[in-house]
Amino acid sequence: MRRLIVSILLGSLVSTLCAPALAQQEIVLWHAMDGSRGRELETLVQRYNASQTQVRVALVYKGSYEETMKEALAAEPTGQGPTIAQIYELGTADMMYAGHAVRPLWQVFQEAGERIDAKTFLPAVASYFADQHGNLQALPFNVSTPILFYNKDAFRKAKLDPENPPKTWYEMPKAMGALLEAGYSCAYTTAWPAWIQVENMSTWHNRDFATKDNGLAGLDTSLVFNTHLMMRHISMLASWAQAGYFTYSGRGAGGERRFARGECAMVTSASASYAELRSQARFDFGTAQLPYYDDIKGAPHHSLIGGGGLWVMGGRKPAEYRAAARFLSWLARPEVQADWSQVTGYVPLTRAAYEHIAQSGFYKANPGHEIAVKQLLLNAPTQESRGIRLGDYPEIRAILEQELEQAWDNKVPPKLALDRAAERGNQLLRKFESQHRQKR
């Protein structure tokens, strides 16, 4: 009997030693981050892969945000697409109405036995990626909001207080005039003009950008950003452009580059640019809250986010979904979020991550990083400020940018430019509604 037991134990041991090691479950993440932020993402994924043995994340750079989204949606029916795709905020509606091409994040977590609660995220962040019931459709990831960057050395040269930048749009002309007199040909510029000067200005003053809660409440939405406030704002920028106070620097990040070179003394741009501008600028610069109109009741409200989220794609095997939930759950940890925020400049996504960073003393040493979080936490999101969710949003933004250029180049009146942008955008919305009505 004793020999039999020994024989069984030895056989079991040999069988265990000879059996192949349990294979890792690989998941594929397509992303659109290049340069320094792409390298930080690689470091983050390597850190996760080294922290455990059950899951391996394979990172694949797919080009621009638009290319990444289009390829991910096109690849899903073939089974050759990614497990997870990084999609910019403009594509939120397209992803939500993509049917079986996407698996809602809350469902993936629930089926995998993982927990995720939208209430733990900053409200202005969670509301952008959640449905009407508060369930997260994707994991917010690389998120920022616009703030004002200003050249303190230029302020000193212009005899302006370097610790007291303009707080309102009405205070801007005095500063811009002094900077021009001090020899700066570009007193103020902006990056991402449609996002900052129209989308964020609407939310910042708690005004509708579109009907149906900015599209969050249904496909039958219409653009209504051509309000008195917005006409006044775009008209003011147009008059500043004619006077040489405001310099247009293109639709993307051109304003940031001109600021970093010292050409422009002030720029409104994404808060996530802070770390990169700090490494590039050869002058002392500061950060401040986005200017607002102090004669608008309730302003400033809170600013709007930009950036991307991580979406789980459809058509994958159950084991992949469990692995995806494990990885995304790890990304949402406060300490991971805190590290990601500090090295990239993106906003910490959860209150716990924000508190973790604050307790570490990072914000005391780098106060510019905290301004964005404070802007997002100024007030609770309302129907007018929870986010913008529109079909064909990239095309709508392109239309808006075209019309803004016409107004600032003094080719059409600002009111006409905004009216035309709304009319052209609404045509796209009706087409999108017709195509996706059955998926509501």
- Do 39 and 176 reside in the same domain of the chain? no
Q: Is residue 327 part of a domain?
A: yes
Domain end call among 376, 400, 422 = 376
For the whole model, what pTM was predicted?
Answer: 0.91
Examine residue 418 and state whether it is found in any structural domain, yes or no.
yes
Mean pLDDT of 235-257: 97
How large a percentage of the chain has pLDDT more than 90? 88
What is the structure's pLDDT at 438? 60
Co-location of 286 and 400 in the same domain: yes
Domain tally for the chain?
2
pLDDT in tens, 204-214: 999 999 999 99
**Joined tokens for residue 402:** 């075209």
Residues 227, 299: one domain? yes
Same domain, 415 and 292: yes
Note if the bond before 348 is cis, omega within 30 degrees. Answer: no
Pair of tokens at residue 371:
């301004």
* Last residue within a domain, chosen from 376, 399, 422: 376
Backbone φ, ψ for residue 390 (5° rounding): -125, 140
Find tokens 């449609």 and name the residue: 194
Residue 283 lies in a domain: yes
When the pLDDT of each residue in the chain is averaged and rounded to a whole number, the result is 92
Same domain membership, residue 341 and residue 407: no
- Taking only the tens place, the pLDDT of each residue in 101-120 is 999 999 999 999 999 999 99
Is 436 domain-assigned?
no
pLDDT tens-digit map of 267-316: 999 999 998 898 899 999 999 999 999 999 999 999 999 999 999 999 99
Q: Is residue 186 part of a domain?
A: yes
Instruction: Give the span between the Cα atoms of 195 and 217, in whole angstroms.
Output: 21
**Is 16's pLDDT higher than 50?**
no
Are residues 95 and 79 part of one domain? yes
- For the chain, what is the HEC assignment? CHHHHHHHHHHHHHHHHHCCCCCCEEEEEEECCCHHHHHHHHHHHHHHHHHCCCEEEEEEECCCHHHHHHHHHHHHHHCCCCCEEEEEHHHHHHHHCCHHHEECHHHHHHHHCCCCCHHHECHHHHHHHECCCCCECCEEEEEECEEEEEEHHHHHHCCCCCCCCCCEHHHHHHHHHHHHHCCCCEEEEECCHHHHHHHHHHHHCCCCCEHHHHCCCCCCCCECCCCHHHHHHHHHHHHHHHHCCEECCCCCCHHHHHHHCCCEEEEEEEHHHHHHHHHHCCCCEEEECCCECCCCCCCCCCCCCEEEEEEEECCCCHHHHHHHHHHHHHHCCHHHHHHHHHHHCCCCCEHHHHHHHHHHCHHHHCHHHHHHHHHHCCCCCCCCCCCCCCCCHHHHHHHHHHHHHHHHCCCCCHHHHHHHHHHHHHHHHHHHHHHHHHHC
Contact in structure between 325 and 104 (CB atoms under 8 Å): no
> Are 210 and 120 in the same domain?
no
Same domain, 36 and 120: yes
Phi and psi at 297, nearest 5°, equal -60, 130
Give the CATH number, domain containing residue 318: 3.40.190.10
Asked whether residue 29 falls in the same domain as residue 84, the answer is: yes
Give me the mean pLDDT over the 160-171 stretch: 98
Domain boundaries, position 396: 146-303+391-430
Where does the pLDDT of residue 22 fall: very low under 50, low under 70, confident under 90, or very high at 90 and above?
low
In a domain, 20, yes or no: no
- Residues 353-368: what's their mean pLDDT? 93
Look at residue 440 and tell me if it is in a domain.
no
Do 156 and 236 lie in one domain? The reply is: yes
pLDDT at 132: 83
Q: How far is CA 130 from CA 14, 86, 94, 133, 430, in A?
A: 52, 16, 14, 8, 23
Are 99 and 109 contained in the same domain?
Answer: yes
Residue 140 contacts residue 128 (beta carbons within 8 Å): yes
Whether the Cβ atoms of residue 264 and residue 187 lie closer than 8 Å to each other: yes
Question: Is 314 a domain residue?
Answer: yes
Residues 85 and 168 both lie in one domain: no
